[in-house]
Amino acid sequence: MKIRTDQLKQQLEKTLSPVYLISGDEPLQVMEAGDQVRAKARELGYTERTVMDVDKDFDWATLTAESNSLSLFAEQRILELRIPTGKPGKPGGAALAEYAARLPQDTILIISAGKLDKTATNTKWYKSLDSAGVTLQCWPIDSVALPKWIENRCIMKGMQPEKEAVRILVERVEGNMLAAAQEIEKLCLLAGSARLTAEQVTAAVADSSRFNIYDLTDAALAGDISRTSHIINGLQAEGVEVVLALWAVSREIRTLLSAAESSQSSADTALAKAGVWNNRLPLMKKALSRHNKNTLQQLLSRCANTDRVIKGLEAGKAWDELYQLCLFLAGFKLPSLVKG
């Protein structure tokens, strides 16, 4: 049974399933979801725990042996399987499918795994586990939901955060939820149950935000100039290859230009024809409202110029060129990019 992370608490209150497969590339959410399951299991008397870490040398017969063995210390036990790559391989897939087909009594299996792609979720082992118990994919918390998440977490710790304090926290920990949780714990020690101010956050919290190239394109398409600038600085500081960031930005510009040149009457139809997925339509439409064929062609020319700078064929600093390109895409106006 597939559920969302926000449904886990309710599911556990109803029943404890024999299998939980918790996956995702956000370590904090995967860890905390596992903690919820373990806490419920302990509450119901599952006190013995065996942890198995899966690497390239892992013997999958171990899982079968553990599932068939009798508990030495308790009647109820927890088996934990950690698969960082999310890829058990052929022997692992067979062992997991077999486990799901012959569930041992008085045993809870908790599997934590890296992000599972569509290929993995279509495998026999995944479908077997989904039928036998609960599957839960943890998705990263986006920039829209993050402020509320941080505010709620502060309140849970007994703090009363000011809006500006939340804003600064979001800016400094976005994309790094483990750091977010750790910084909130630290602020709790400093502020206690007092009001959490922007000054306290500024003084105590280092910038540990992490971004990827797709965060950059989303911010620029959304027209968020401040966030676009912050992400560019973050990517450069993390040592991301500028050519990868340029590839992502130029791809979106080409798609927008294709839609702008389309003879279709509606933006939705033109963008769909250009291959834009439904969940990205609002972002792309927002960008199209700021640009037309003329400005998008100019942006594409700037992509080519930035590429030449990266290759050393023209003078300039690659990150500075990309910075300007992204700000123009986000809506920063210059005389050479007047919409008309």
- Show the domains of the chain with their CATH numbers: 2-138 (3.40.50.300), 146-204 (1.10.8.60), 213-337 (1.20.272.10)
39 neighbors 47 (Cβ within 8 angstroms):
no
> What is the per-residue pLDDT for 303?
95
CA distances, 4 to each of 84, 114, 135, 149 (Å): 20, 16, 9, 15
Alpha helices in 163-280 (DSSP H): 163-173, 177-191, 198-204, 213-222, 225-237, 242-260, 267-273
The reported pLDDT for the residue numbered 144 is 86
Handedness of CA 314, 320, 326, 327 (dihedral sign): negative
pLDDT tens digits for 105-140?
889 999 999 989 889 999 999 999 999 999 999 988
- d(CA 340, CA 338) in angstroms, rounded, equals 6
Is this model's pTM higher than 0.85 or not? no
- Supply the Cα-derived Rg of the chain in whole angstroms: 24
Rounded average pLDDT over 29-42? 94
Which residues, in sequence order, are bridge partners of residue 159?
none
Over the stretch 63-114, which tens digit does the pLDDT of each residue have? 988 888 765 555 789 999 999 989 999 999 999 999 999 999 889 999 999 9
For residues 312-330, one letter each, b for 16 or more C-beta atoms within 10 angstroms of the residue's C-beta and e for the rest, the string is eeeeeebbebbbbbbbbbb
Phi, psi dihedrals of residue 221, rounded to the nearest 5°: -65, -35
Strand intervals (E) in 25-65: 48-53
- Tens digits of residue pLDDT in 213-244: 999 999 999 999 989 999 999 899 889 999 99
- Residue 246 corresponds to which amino acid? L
- Whole-angstrom Cα distance, residue 315 to residue 317? 7
Please give the C-alpha separations between residue 310 and each of 25, 246, 247, in angstroms, as whole numbers: 31, 10, 12
